[in-house]
Amino acid sequence: MDNLYVILPMLLKIAVVVAVLLLLPLPLTWLERKIAGHIQQRPGPMRVGWHGLLQPVADGIKLLTKEDHIPSDADRFLFKLAPVVALVPPFVVFVAIPLGEPVTIFGTEVMLSLSNMNVGLLFILAVSGIGIFGIILAGWASNSKYAVLGSLRAIAQMISYEIPMGFSVIGVVMLANSMNMMDIVTAQKDMWNVVYQPLGFFVFFVAGLAEVQRIPFDLPEAEGDLGAGYHTEYSGIRFSFFMLSEYLGVVIIGFLNVMLFFGGWHGAPPFIPDTVWLLLKVGFFIWVFMWFRFTFPRYRYDQLMAIGWKVLLPLSLVNILISGFFMF
């Protein structure tokens, strides 16, 4: 019976997390279209439901019912496997992301996370990097020049920006003396890390934009010259898997920005619950990412690589040296 009381809450939390993550892209796609519309002085979705609220549902039905096309010269097994490989890591990452302090329910303390890992930050960075394999497989298995070029761009971009992203959080780990996400947030109870680590935040924020392939760093897709990049040959539900993974990537980067540099759930006004305050902060960063998409132009590929290797990497190393100097 004791094991049952442990397993049931865990299964319930897993079911809730999976359900929320599967449904999350629906409001995000509507929100992104509305933001685009207002920035460009047009209404955005209006026809399906009040102010287009049912437009994401219509899009979902369309993707579910569209023909599942596989190119005749494609590697069928890898072609089918790639969307799954791209989709799984974002779900796994949320195992190590807490949503607040533990709460007591019916006399039992319940963590607002699936796992309280001692190396939670390392786990998140490591697992999120696995998604690149789905992109590689998608480009290679499609047997299409556009798809292959898109996957090669994605590989170069994600590897280049993962390095400064990883270095940029070392200062945060030094301040918290831990890679546990709960400890990192707790260490910001009195002062947010962005005050001590403004350079680290800048590098992490820009590298995060590149990691999730958002404009101005959307070279792997680049509709103008690659059609849609690595998923050019995908349609229907398989295409939606890639879109789902990209939106979840944006949410993950939003969570990490807030939890590593902006105090997590700390600093909430008295009338706002801690978890709601955390989600409001994450929502703000998601809005910023969407705002950037419809504001900045796309970089050239040589500029993209130069920013990663010649600007962000040196800045991340300088941030480590400065942090070490002031701490020791």
Are residues 90 and 133 both part of a single domain?
yes
Are residues 58 and 96 both part of a single domain?
no
Count the Cβ atoms, other than its own, within 10 Å of residue 148: 20
Q: Using only C-alpha atoms, what is the Rg of the chain?
A: 21
Are residues 139 and 172 both part of a single domain?
yes
Are residues 180 and 307 both part of a single domain?
yes
Are residues 25 and 160 both part of a single domain?
no
Q: Per residue of the chain (328 residues), what is the pLDDT tens digit?
A: 456 566 777 788 888 888 888 888 888 889 988 998 888 888 888 888 888 888 888 888 888 888 888 888 888 888 889 888 888 988 899 888 988 777 766 666 667 777 888 888 999 988 988 888 888 888 888 888 888 888 888 888 888 888 999 999 999 999 888 898 898 999 888 889 999 999 999 999 999 988 888 878 877 776 666 666 788 888 888 888 888 888 898 999 999 999 999 988 888 888 888 889 999 999 999 999 989 888 888 888 888 888 889 999 999 999 999 988 887 6
The domain boundary, picked from 65, 97, 116, lies at 65
pLDDT at 226: 62
Are residues 124 and 12 both part of a single domain?
no
Structure tokens at 89: 């890591």
Are residues 251 and 151 both part of a single domain?
yes
- Give the residue from 182, 82, 69, 186 showing the smallest Cα distance to 135: 82
The domain boundary, picked from 13, 39, 65, lies at 65
Residue 57 domain boundaries: 1-65
Structure tokens at 126: 């490591």
Task: Say what the pTM is.
Answer: 0.89
Are residues 14 and 115 both part of a single domain?
no
pLDDT at 268: 81
Burial of 260 (0-12, 13-18, 19+ CB in 10 A): buried
Distance in angstroms (rounded) separating the CA atoms of residues 201 and 192 = 11
pLDDT at 56: 87
Q: Do residues 161 and 204 make contact, with C-beta atoms less than 8 angstroms apart?
A: no
Are residues 54 and 157 both part of a single domain?
no
pLDDT at 108: 63
Q: Do residues 277 and 246 make contact, with C-beta atoms less than 8 angstroms apart?
A: no
- Structural domain count, the chain: 2
Q: What is the DSSP string of 1-26?
A: -HHHHHHHHHHHHHHHHHHHHHHTHH
- Give the residue from 150, 320, 185, 162 showing the smallest Cα distance to 265: 185
Are residues 210 and 311 both part of a single domain?
yes
Are residues 60 and 156 both part of a single domain?
no
Q: Please, what sign has the CA dihedral across residues 281, 282, 285, 287?
A: negative
Tell me which H or E stretch contains 173: helix 170-176
Are residues 305 and 176 both part of a single domain?
yes
Residue where the block lists tokens 């533990």:
102
The domain boundary, picked from 45, 65, 85, lies at 65
pLDDT at 227: 63
Three-state secondary-structure class, residue 285: helix
Tell me the CA distances in angstroms from 108 to 8, 113, 117, 276, one per residue in order.
Answer: 13, 15, 20, 22
Burial of 287 (0-12, 13-18, 19+ CB in 10 A): middle
